């Protein structure tokens, strides 16, 4: 069981049932403490599997949840070098808290060595969870290639999560979610049904409802398999709370607030998010959620929070209309604290590749000169985009790439200082969506009918003409991306999985290369 391929095959069956992590420079709280007076659970239900996250060279955060927990209960966590658990390196009694809906989260900081594989499980008195596995990060001076899978936009009702089963089989060091891990209401018809919420339409607003939403998503066996196979990091976008919200301002998609203020909804959503994710919540309620992770010498990843600190979208967030304010206004996407943190981190980094995990597309996407399609991405925050990209030039910061979600389309291209060019100071890879529908399904013609293939071809040709910095786009497929960072180059593959069928077969739909010191995407 020591080779990576064997490990992946093992986890596909078992998954059912110096790197440094910084949270905005803010210390985070400790994991569950031992409470001997709490009764031991006899037969626990681990209906949402297990997960590992926020990896380090000698530490990992491990997660599970006891279903239908009415009062606090103890259980045991074991971490071993082998899948038979004969070589246990860490054992600890932990507490599942009823106040956190049975979630268990443990930061393991003893017994682990850099670059090693481990297996873990949670045990009740008479049964155990499924088995998960993880690799700790390699030493800080490692020059081994770094592989990262990235995904976003997994709407439960829109399709099946076969892409997650495919990610579980990938040989990667880390999986990154770029936002929209859940959808707070139903936006699309599809092969599955989400009937949660007070009105049965999938729309959740209270803490109990958000918890039920995560329970629904994490009941999916393909998503469980992915979490059991790889360490995970993620950042939220809008649908973890409410479509197109900005800071403390609500979006416009809520159909019935039921007298629930937006701020209450937001806090409930944030609390549920951290309960269900295999990483720790910052100690203070409104503490920065952005973070950085170093993976040896070849990659440093910066996860941005582009919802909690932003200004409202300009021009009423209208699509397909000219908006001078988008380029000249003082609105912020990151907020001053996060923006300064990112600039400092980029300037100080010694990594071969600086990977910015970014919810929203930083390349411009215009339908005509001065008419950005979507002001809910960097196109609505032009001055701040220019400031950050000009910082790369002024400080001589090379080999920066963005990995991006949100827009449900695969894009790859060059990033100019204004998001366009013709110069390029960085590159960007937009990884489509796991299930959420894209342009061909959502954009309609003047009569309200879906676009024909001929209309889609015309639209695509227009995009490429108006946006020559785009080197690749693919609008029909659902899937994910895989990035490989080495000392000399960056390689990226886009992979598609049929989300409307119970398929886990992934096919490569795009392959790309970026050479060190040359911020241009080469389509292979």
Tens digit of each residue's pLDDT (9 = 90 or more) over 286-327:
556 899 999 999 999 999 999 999 999 988 767 767 788 888
User: Which residues on neighbouring strands pair with residue 445, listed in sequence order?
Assistant: none
pLDDT of residue 39: 94
pLDDT band at 444 (very low <50, low <70, confident <90, very high): low
Nearest to 384 by CA among 347, 336, 431: 336
CA distance 44 to 195: 26
Token pair belonging to 253: 């998609």
Within 329-442, residue ranges assigned H as helices are: 336-348, 382-394, 439-442
* Percent of the chain residues past pLDDT 70, beyond the cut: 90
- Altogether, the residues listed in the chain come to a count of 524
* Percent of the chain residues past pLDDT 90, beyond the cut: 78
- What is the rounded average pLDDT of the residues 421-438? 96
pLDDT of residue 286: 56
Q: Name the burial class of residue 284, with classes exposed (0-12), middle (13-18) and buried (19+) by CB atoms within 10 angstroms of its CB.
A: exposed
Helix (H, G, I), strand (E, B) or coil at 265: helix
Domains of the chain: 4-135 (2.60.40.380), 146-523 (3.60.21.70)
pLDDT of residue 35: 45
Task: Note if the bond before 422 is cis, omega within 30 degrees.
Answer: yes
What number of other Cβ atoms are within 10 A of residue 312's Cβ? Answer: 14
Lowest model confidence (mean pLDDT) among 194-203, 241-250, 365-374:
365-374
Lowest model confidence (mean pLDDT) among 244-248, 424-428, 442-446:
442-446
What are φ and ψ of residue 421, in 5° steps?
A: 130, -165
Per the model's pLDDT, the better-predicted residue between 509 and 327 turns out to be: 509
| pLDDT exceeds cutoff 90 at 97 | yes
147-156 pLDDT, tens digit per residue, is 999 999 999 9
Report yes or no on whether pTM surpasses 0.85.
yes
pLDDT of residue 285: 53
CA distance 465 to 115: 46
pLDDT band at 32 (very low <50, low <70, confident <90, very high): very low
- What is the rounded average pLDDT of the residues 25-30? 38
Pairing of strands 507-515, 489-496: antiparallel
pLDDT of residue 36: 56
């Amino acid at each position: 069981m020591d080779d990576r391929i064997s490990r992946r095959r093992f986890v596909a069956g078992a998954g059912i049932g110096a790197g440094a992590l910084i949270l905005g420079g803010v210390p985070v709280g400790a994991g569950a403490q031992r409470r001997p007076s709490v009764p031991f659970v006899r037969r626990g239900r681990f209906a949402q599997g297990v997960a590992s996250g926020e990896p380090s060279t000698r530490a990992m955060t491990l997660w599970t949840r006891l279903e239908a927990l009415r009062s606090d209960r103890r259980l045991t966590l074991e971490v071993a070098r082998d899948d038979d658990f004969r070589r246990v390196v860490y054992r600890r009694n932990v507490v599942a808290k009823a106040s956190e809906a049975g979630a268990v989260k443990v930061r393991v900081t003893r017994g682990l060595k850099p670059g090693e594989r481990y297996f873990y499980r949670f045990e009740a008195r008479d049964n155990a969870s499924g088995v998960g596995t993880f690799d700790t990060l390699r030493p800080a001076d490692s020059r081994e290639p770094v592989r990262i899978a990235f995904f976003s936009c997994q709407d439960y009702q829109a399709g099946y999560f076969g892409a997650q089963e495919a990610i579980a089989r990938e040989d990667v060091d880390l999986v990154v979610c770029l936002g929209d891990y859940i959808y707070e209401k139903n936006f699309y018809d599809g092969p599955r049904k989400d009937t949660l919420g007070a009105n049965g339409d999938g729309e959740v607003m209270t803490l109990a409802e958000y918890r039920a939403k995560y329970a629904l998503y994490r009941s999916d066996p393909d998503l469980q398999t992915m979490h059991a196979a790889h360490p995970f990091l993620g950042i939220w976008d809008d649908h973890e709370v409410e479509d197109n919200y900005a800071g403390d301002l609500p979006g416009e998609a809520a159909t019935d607030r039921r007298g629930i203020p937006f701020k209450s909804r937001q806090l409930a959503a944030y609390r549920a998010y951290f309960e269900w994710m295999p990483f720790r919540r910052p100690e203070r309620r409104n503490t920065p959620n952005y973070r950085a992770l170093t993976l040896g010498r070849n990659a440093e990843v910066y996860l941005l929070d582009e919802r909690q600190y932003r200004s409202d979208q300009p021009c009423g967030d209208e699509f397909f209309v000219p908006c001078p304010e988008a380029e000249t206004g003082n609105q912020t996407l990151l907020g001053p604290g996060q923006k300064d943190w990112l600039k400092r981190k980029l300037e100080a980094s010694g990594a071969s590749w600086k990977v910015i995990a970014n919810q929203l597309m930083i390349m411009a996407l215009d339908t005509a000169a001065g008419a950005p399609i979507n002001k809910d991405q960097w196109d609505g925050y032009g001055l701040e985009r220019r400031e950050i990209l000009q910082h790369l030039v002024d400080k001589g910061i090379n080999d920066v790439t963005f990995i991006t979600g949100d827009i449900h389309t695969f894009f790859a291209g060059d990033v100019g200082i204004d998001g366009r060019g013709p110069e390029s100071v960085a590159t960007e890879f937009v990884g489509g969506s796991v299930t959420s529908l894209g342009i061909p399904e959502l954009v309609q013609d003047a009569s309200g009918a879906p676009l024909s293939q001929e209309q889609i071809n015309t639209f695509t040709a227009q995009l490429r003409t108006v946006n020559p910095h785009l080197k690749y786009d693919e609008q029909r497929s659902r899937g994910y991306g895989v990035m490989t960072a080495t000392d000399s180059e960056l390689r990226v593959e886009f992979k598609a999985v049929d989300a409307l069928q119970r398929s886990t077969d992934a096919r490569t739909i795009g392959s790309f290369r970026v050479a060190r010191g040359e911020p241009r995407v080469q389509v292979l």
